[in-house]
Structure 1
Amino acid sequence: METKPEVASPRQSGPWDWWRAWWNRQSPNRQDRYANLTPVAAVILFLAAIASAFWYLRAEEAEREQEAVKRDVEYAQQRLRLRLIERQEQVMRLARDISNKDVKADQFASRAEALVQQYPEYHSLTWLDERRKVIANQSVSSIMRSERLLPGKTLGVGETETHYSLARDLMQPIYGQLDPKQHTDLNGALLQLLTPLSNEKGKFNGVLLAEYSMEGLLRYGVPTEILAKYAISLANSEGDLLAGQTIPQRTRFLSMLPMVSSEDNEYEVPVSPVGNGLILKAQAWRTSQGLVGSGLFWLVSVLSVMTAWMLIANWRHTRRRLQAQKALVAETNFRRAMENSMLTGMRALDLKGRITYVNPAFCEMTGWDESELVGAVAPFPYWPEQDIDALSARLEDEISGRHTPAGFQVRVKRKSGSIFDARMYVSPLIDAQGKHTGWMTSMTDITEPNRIREQLANSYERFTIVLEALDASVSVAPLGSKELLFANKLYRQWFGQDTVGHLRLVEQAGAYYENETAMDDVDGLAGLPTESLTVAASENAEIFVSELGKWLEVRSRYINWADGRLAQMVIATDITPRRQAEELAAQQAERAQTASRLITMGEMASSVAHELNQPLTAISNYCNGMISRIKSQQIKESDLLGALDKTAHQAQRAGQIIQRIRSFVKRSEPNRTPSDVTGIVNESLELAEIELRRRHVRLSHYVAARLPLLMVDPILIEQVLINLMKNAAESIDNANRPPDQRHVELRVVPRQEDGQQVVEFSVTDTGQGLPPEAIDRVYEAFFSTKVEGMGIGLNLCRSIIESHQGRIAAENLYNADEVTGCRFSFWLPVTGTLPTDTTSGAAE
């Protein structure tokens, strides 16, 4: 059977070999860093060991001190307990003698006085009967005797009365306390012992009250050696101090660490047989300087600080050296990267004019390599042949130090033969020792900036030509200054070369104005737009300049001038022809309105003549009748006066008709006044009824009560109403409606329109209506649905209503698919709030 050769197993590596392999894998910088950490770790471990030792010693000392305090306090508590038990037995013997009637009231004073004199902790002994009345009392002195325990007094309501009741119920001795805060007549806290008394039948017969001074108990009950070592005090269950003294709690060094308490110098136990109501507390006096006062502590601390200081100084020195090395490498790399990435070409010359250094940007600009330029002397390869003489002279000035700080412009030839413009700046080259070693020249390609500058100059020239050729005045002036930044040709023709005209336009337009007095108290920027000036809306105004005799439209805008100042641009355009055209159009509209009224009256001429014929015929008949009767001597004076009165009435009626027609057709300027709606309607009805009666059309009207006043021209509104009612009568006449359907209704009511209070006028007829395709065109000029119509009536009506900020509309009325009439309505906004007092109803 073939066997395989044994292979030697690799050597098992231990922790040392693993650590050495790991150390060898680290870089030298990391090895130095880890080596520098070793002293730091050693110092930290040393400081930790010292702190642990101090902490252990202090904890041990605190534990011993706490055990000593506990032991002494328990011993003092036993001594105090024994003393209280002895006093309790004495009081119980005296109480037993009183219950057996071995001691009378007069004998009680002598025995109580003996006890009080023999045992100084007694404050008083008092005998109380079953009704809480004081039979006898003995105190340390008459001065300290309390008025509440005088013979003959009755025990009041309070803590003593509560203890009295408890002793009576339990028939056992009861301990209690009196706090001087609640009993102002006491000089200090008292401990009470109430021992019940019984008669021969065993019934309750009063109590023997013994009061101990808390200060006396503490002074005579606690051993003197303990009082010397500790601050001993008696406190109640709430922790209030009753006797003795306390000291502030001791704050120990390193008290925040475990097992080191800040209360290891005090201990408290309840006092028996009183119970938990009386606490004995002891606090140890400070007898040592503590850890901080120990000389060994300060010696070790100083040595530790010095060791740490030397270690930190060594570490800082090493760290600064590494930082300096890194900074040097970074600075070198940064300067190299900066030189390689600069777009500005750099060239260094020595004092003899030889090139000693060029950066990559210089080589890229000229197309020559660094090896071809370094060491070259004038003339340099990048000099154009035709500029060699000028560049040589410039180089001599440069070497001699005669150079301009603003630089100079030259032409540079590339290796390919092309030429470009460049600007060069020269500065002396100083080494680290302050020695002048040559000259440094920076070169920038300005071919593109020159092209842009030329384009900007051409653009500015074209812009100036355009502004000079404008038919509007353009001016720019800074705020708060009288300097004129820009003015075109038309501005100079109108206002000259100063800012007087600019400020006058701004002032009259109300865009922005400041005077010398206002600038003292008001911020010059107040009122400017808070949004960006590029989006601020311009302000427009139309003003009249009397010096020029022109109407100008002024537009102003705030702009940022080229130098950063805030300026105001004002553009003034001559709008005199437009204003003249508008005035002419207004005059033509007024003439058209007057012509419309004349046409209306011409169409109504026969009706007016018929209306005037009646009063004139009546006047003629009255006059002829009076003449005949006067001639025949058959008339009385009373009949003559009656006939004359009727004749005058008919003449007045005819005059009113003529006067109304005259005022309607009379041409006058528009005059808007607060007008009564009822008066406008009545005036319109007087003229419209003539035409409606001629066409046998009935008219009814309704005017709502207490309508407000309207700011309108009453003549124009009457013209609209008459035109609408006349059209309604013509529509009914053309439709050949029967007599019961020939009716026109006028209604005037208030209503709301888009949240605005308006007054609505509506004229409804029973005619043939409007063609559906003509409803939207009836207001167009020269469009009419009547064969003989001129097409200007409704157009003028709409113009009149819209000039009063109102609206007019028309609609057909239907009964199923049949048109039964048409309604024209218009509304006017209410500008007055005073209501009228007239009330109108329906009338025919």
Structure 2
Amino acid sequence: MTDWLPGGAGRRSLWVALMTLVLAVLITLVWLAGRYEASQVQAELERDTADAVNELRTQLSRHVQAIQGVQAAQPNAAQWQQEMLSLLREHRDWLRVEWRDKAQNLRNQADSPLRSPVFERNPRSDMLNETLQSCLRARRLSGPAYSSTYFLPQVDGLGFEVMELCLPYVHAGELMGFTVVTYGLQELLQERLGKSFGRRNELSFTEPDGTRLAISGTQRRGLRVFTAQQLVDLPGNTLVLRMDGRRGKPDLFPNVLTALVTGMSIALVTVMILLAKDSRRRLKAERELAEALAFRKAMEDSLVTGLRARDLEGRITYVNPAFCQMVGLDAEVLTGRNAPMPYWPPEMVDEYKQRQAIRLAGNVPPREGFESVFMRQDGTRFPVLIIEAPLISVQGQQTGWMGAVIDISEQRRIEELSRASQERLQATARLATVGEMASLLSHELNQPLAAIASYANGSLNLLKDPQAVPQTLDDVHMALRRIAEQAQRAGRVISSVHDFVRRRDQARESVLPQALIDAIAPLVNLQARKLNVKVHFRVEAKLPWVVCDRTMVEQVLLNLCRNGMQAMDVPECRERVLVLQVKRFAAHSETGWLEFSVTDVGVGIAEEVAQKLFTPFFTTKPEGMGLGLSLCRTVVEQHGGHLDFEPLQPRGTVFRFTLPGDTQGTKGVDALLLDKIKA
């Protein structure tokens, strides 16, 4: 065997090679054993971290249920204070509980009796930004929402991180207010996870860059630290829970030496078997990988959503068939291309380049959808919705961006059809209003026209009398003045209706509230005289101008007034009074919003009717179309306001809606300016 080697030098070389091989195998096995032990420790820590996240979510869900239990009882202020103090004693991680109405105004509060008030140093009003954001998010989600964490300084010169939970209180389908709970992150770790997971591990909440917000437990020095992180995905906020395991390093020679001695003796026999098994496993893994790749390819080919992957430089690395079909280009043409893309419209290239630079710089939050316009190969443009997120590799590093592209051409077409249908409905409602006004005009105009005819005939008879005296001429002058007054009265009525029903494009302008009232006053008084209704117009002094579509708002006011007067047209309603009032909106007085209200003392609205009151084509009138109140709410909401109603005690109904004021223009008018405008 060693004849080709010179003397013992060859044998020594073989022994050295053999010893080296055995030593290498032994070191490798020991190293693998150490790695295995470390992987087991890390896997256990990962499981503990996942269990801790689940435990934290469960505890927070129970907190929400406890608050909902208090809300369901509908307590008064004293009962609410007592219930919340009891919950604060049970939950040390609760620092403060607040009861706010739907306008975010503070109605009641309770601080933890286990510590000094957390807002002792800084006023609560300075820390409301995150609270308002979370409550707006909770209102949109119709469920609990958590705020982002923020630092809260204390009187001792220190401070801590807090997070707030906002839970909306909805009763009978109507938002009544919010319950806001302030959590201390440090206490949240200690109370919810410290007893179960803090004995062997160090727990902490961290920011995405690794900055620690709160820490629970102690770290023993001189030991190897195993770290695991899990996202705590909460509605409105995402926390990072980090768990550092306190474990000693694996021994250099773990308890595998006996197995190594035995294993080395049979290693030469078993190596071929292991290689054969490994070969079979590798072939099986390759088949499974090929099947998985084929399955993924089939799924991607069947998608109707376009998929596009880009690297960190912005070059396209992958597109699926749906994207190719969407833009009319092959994958070979698109792969490897950088800005400008062939599916970008030429007139938008500069804008798209700037947007791509912002996206690649990482200044846009991930998974944020935005609309854009693409161009097909034949030059046609079509709108798309793009949702992009970072493309993360197995090593946890970002390698590019993955985007989903959705063709929203059909959606835009449906929206346009819906908008056209809404405009037609509005036009139909206006025509219905014209029909109702025509019957009233025919009755009311008979009086001034009859008076004009009588004065004219009397004047002609006086002028034909040859014995006319100067006193008779004075009577003729008085009759002519009466004719002019009656003609002006008829003209004002006709002009009001003409201005109201005249079809024109919607255009918002700054209008005096008094001008809106004056525009509809002749029409309101016209029907009021017919139904024996007293109408009171009340406009608060020094009101700002209102920004609105004048014709549409006049239609809303006129429709509400007409409904109020018709509600009082019953025999049991003897005293008929309608009040049309304009004042500042109390809930947002500082922002310049105005509140319009129409109050009647009619029979009121039944509960079963109130549930369908704003439903299109629902009406209680035999001659009605059921579009009036539905269109009124649509008009008010298009202006950013809200239309609602409530019963009036002992009888009657109040309809209210809000409109934005022109706070950047005229702040108010005095009586002199108002008289000039009326003139």
TM-score class normalised by the smaller sequence = 0.5 to 0.7
The 5 Å alignment of 1:468-487 reads: 468-487=301-320
State yes or no: 1:579 paired with 2:415. no
The 5 Å alignment of 1:427-826 reads: 445-494=278-327, 496=329, 497-498=333-334, 499=337, 500-501=340-341, 504=344, 513-514=353-354, 525=361, 527-529=363-365, 536-541=366-371, 543=373, 547-560=379-392, 566-632=399-465, 634=468, 646-734=482-570, 736-738=572-574, 741-753=575-587, 756-786=591-621, 788-815=623-650, 820-826=651-657
The 5 Å alignment of 1:242-281 reads: none
Residues of 2 paired with 1:639 and 1:786: CA distance?
A: 49
**1:713 Cα deviation (Å)?**
1.0
Matched AA of 1:823: V
1:331-386 CA distance string (max 9 Å, x none): 99965633656889xxxxxxxxxxxxxxx99x989xx956768xxxxxxxx9xxxx
Correspondence for 2:61: none
Matched AA of 1:554: I
Q: Could you say what secondary structure the match of 1:753 adopts?
A: helix
Q: Could you say what secondary structure the match of 1:452 adopts?
A: helix
Matched AA of 1:751: F
**1:803 Cα deviation (Å)?**
1.6
Correspondence for 2:198: none
Q: Residues 610 and 421 (structure 1 numbering): CA distance in 2 closer, same or farther, change over 3 Å? A: farther
Q: Could you say what secondary structure the match of 1:826 adopts?
A: strand
Residues of 2 paired with 1:744 and 1:509: CA distance?
A: 60
**1:758 Cα deviation (Å)?**
2.1
Residues of 1 paired with 2:28 and 2:400: CA distance?
A: 44
Residues of 1 paired with 2:653 and 2:283: CA distance?
A: 78
Contact 2:577/2:600 (<8 A) preserved = yes
Residues of 1 paired with 2:387 and 2:346: CA distance?
A: 9
Residues of 1 paired with 2:454 and 2:490: CA distance?
A: 15
1:279-306 CA distance string (max 9 Å, x none): xxxxxxxxxxxxxxxxxxxxxxxxxxxx
Residues of 1 paired with 2:368 and 2:539: CA distance?
A: 48
Q: Residues 369 and 669 (structure 1 numbering): CA distance in 2 closer, same or farther, change over 3 Å? A: same
Q: Could you say what secondary structure the match of 1:601 adopts?
A: helix
Q: Residues 562 and 735 (structure 1 numbering): CA distance in 2 closer, same or farther, change over 3 Å? A: farther
Residues of 2 paired with 1:554 and 1:594: CA distance?
A: 37
Q: Could you say what secondary structure the match of 2:537 adopts?
A: strand
**1:594 Cα deviation (Å)?**
2.5
Residues of 1 paired with 2:529 and 2:668: CA distance?
A: 30
Contact 1:475/1:491 (<8 A) preserved = no
Percent identical among aligned pairs is: 26
Residues of 2 paired with 1:509 and 1:615: CA distance?
A: 68
The 5 Å alignment of 1:232-311 reads: none
Q: Could you say what secondary structure the match of 1:761 adopts?
A: strand
Q: Residues 627 and 472 (structure 1 numbering): CA distance in 2 closer, same or farther, change over 3 Å? A: farther
Contact 1:594/1:665 (<8 A) preserved = no
Residues of 2 paired with 1:596 and 1:523: CA distance?
A: 48
Q: Residues 549 and 372 (structure 1 numbering): CA distance in 2 closer, same or farther, change over 3 Å? A: closer
Residues of 2 paired with 1:720 and 1:792: CA distance?
A: 12
- Unaligned stretches of 5+ residues in structure 1: 1-329, 345-359, 374-381, 383-411, 415-419, 423-444, 530-535
Matched AA of 2:406: T
Residues of 2 paired with 1:371 and 1:705: CA distance?
A: 103
Q: Could you say what secondary structure the match of 1:552 adopts?
A: strand
Q: Residues 823 and 514 (structure 1 numbering): CA distance in 2 closer, same or farther, change over 3 Å? A: closer
Q: Residues 454 and 730 (structure 1 numbering): CA distance in 2 closer, same or farther, change over 3 Å? A: same
Correspondence for 1:338: 27
Could you say which structure has the larger radius of gyration?
1
1:238-292 CA distance string (max 9 Å, x none): xxxxxxxxxxxxxxxxxxxxxxxxxxxxxxxxxxxxxxxxxxxxxxxxxxxxxxx
Correspondence for 1:835: 667
Q: Could you say what secondary structure the match of 1:668 adopts?
A: coil
**1:822 Cα deviation (Å)?**
1.4
Matched AA of 2:506: P
Q: Residues 544 and 663 (structure 1 numbering): CA distance in 2 closer, same or farther, change over 3 Å? A: farther
Contact 1:468/1:490 (<8 A) preserved = no
CA RMSD of aligned residues (A): 4.3
Correspondence for 1:131: none
Residues of 1 paired with 2:550 and 2:459: CA distance?
A: 42
1 or 2 for the larger relative contact order (CA 8 Å, sep ≥6)? 2
Q: Residues 461 and 505 (structure 1 numbering): CA distance in 2 closer, same or farther, change over 3 Å? A: farther
Q: Could you say what secondary structure the match of 1:679 adopts?
A: helix
Q: Could you say what secondary structure the match of 2:559 adopts?
A: helix
Residues of 2 paired with 1:728 and 1:510: CA distance?
A: 57
Q: Residues 757 and 449 (structure 1 numbering): CA distance in 2 closer, same or farther, change over 3 Å? A: farther
Range with bigger deviation, 568-577 or 334-343: 334-343
Matched AA of 1:753: A
Contact 1:775/1:811 (<8 A) preserved = no
Q: Residues 730 and 507 (structure 1 numbering): CA distance in 2 closer, same or farther, change over 3 Å? A: same
Contact 1:629/1:635 (<8 A) preserved = no
- Unaligned stretches of 5+ residues in structure 2: 1-18, 34-258
Q: Residues 800 and 487 (structure 1 numbering): CA distance in 2 closer, same or farther, change over 3 Å? A: same
Q: Residues 712 and 447 (structure 1 numbering): CA distance in 2 closer, same or farther, change over 3 Å? A: farther
Matched AA of 2:618: F
Q: Residues 599 and 580 (structure 1 numbering): CA distance in 2 closer, same or farther, change over 3 Å? A: same
Q: Could you say what secondary structure the match of 1:801 adopts?
A: helix
1:85-130 CA distance string (max 9 Å, x none): xxxxxxxxxxxxxxxxxxxxxxxxxxxxxxxxxxxxxxxxxxxxxx
Matched AA of 1:556: E
Residues of 2 paired with 1:596 and 1:584: CA distance?
A: 18
Contact 2:375/2:382 (<8 A) preserved = yes
Residues of 2 paired with 1:814 and 1:837: CA distance?
A: 34
Q: Residues 635 and 790 (structure 1 numbering): CA distance in 2 closer, same or farther, change over 3 Å? A: farther
Contact 2:531/2:565 (<8 A) preserved = yes
Residues of 1 paired with 2:346 and 2:571: CA distance?
A: 63
Contact 2:578/2:599 (<8 A) preserved = yes
**1:748 Cα deviation (Å)?**
0.9
Instruction: Give the length in aligned residue pairs.
Output: 416
Correspondence for 1:201: none
Residues of 2 paired with 1:506 and 1:450: CA distance?
A: 51
Q: Residues 537 and 554 (structure 1 numbering): CA distance in 2 closer, same or farther, change over 3 Å? A: closer
Residues of 2 paired with 1:544 and 1:664: CA distance?
A: 43
**1:690 Cα deviation (Å)?**
1.2
**1:652 Cα deviation (Å)?**
3.9
Contact 2:567/2:603 (<8 A) preserved = yes
